[in-house]
Chain A
């Protein structure tokens, strides 16, 4: 059974600092997704990572995937208040019609 674990689950940080959110998963997969959810809103797709060593960047967010370690990271550079949200990683098994399994989410609170 595929399990997806994120840590930390809650992160409070100062503006301008760097930090990393970790996503571990339990079985082989090379399709990993990151989503953002603002309070009271739905999930919005951020990144899709499809192969070992894949790196995607948008603004102050950078996601990477290490399929051998079964680990993805979401790195925040010089955080700004607008990045306060809950971030989810999700993994699927790579077969047609498979479920996508979500982590519990990391609630990021950036203090001005």
Chain B
């Protein structure tokens, strides 16, 4: 079974703090993704990575950065957390199986910034 794990299920941070969200997958997938999920807005892509040390901006990268030093780990960094970054953060990895992708999601981290 593919497993995508995230370092925390719930996190509470203060405004201005630097926040690290970690994601680890155990299936040697090249592609990994960070989304945020907000009510009524669905999933919005923050950043993604095609491979180690590669990163691409998604639709809402402002206020975030990422790091992919090892294939299995993709970290999302909030340089200076703000209240509008309170959200559910979902990590995913994916593989190309035949002619379509299989995308696997982690359990999510619910971040509250106070």
Contacts and interface: CB of A to CB of B under 8 A. Distances in A.
Interface in A31-51: 31, 33, 41-45, 48, 50
Given A97-B31, A99-B48, A99-B58, A45 B43 contact: no
Chain B interface size, under 10 / 10 to 19 / 20 to 34 / 35 or more? 20 to 34
Give chain B's interface secondary structure class.
strand
Interface residues of A, number: 21
Interface stretch (B12-20, B70-78, B79-87, B93-101): B93-101
Contacts, number: 48
Interface stretch (A14-22, A70-78, A101-109): A101-109
B101 A92 contact: yes
Interface string A83-109: 000001000100011011111110000
B21 interface: no
Interface of A: 9, 31, 33, 41-45, 48, 50, 88, 92, 96-97, 99-105
27 contacts: A31-B99, A31-B100, A33-B100, A33-B103, A41-B108, A42-B90, A42-B105, A42-B107, A42-B108, A43-B92, A44-B105, A45-B102, A45-B104, A48-B100, A50-B99, A50-B100, A92-B101, A96-B96, A97-B50, A99-B45, A99-B58, A100-B94, A102-B35, A102-B43, A104-B40, A104-B42, A105-B43
Interface of B: 31, 35, 40-43, 45, 48, 50, 58, 90, 92, 94, 96, 99-108
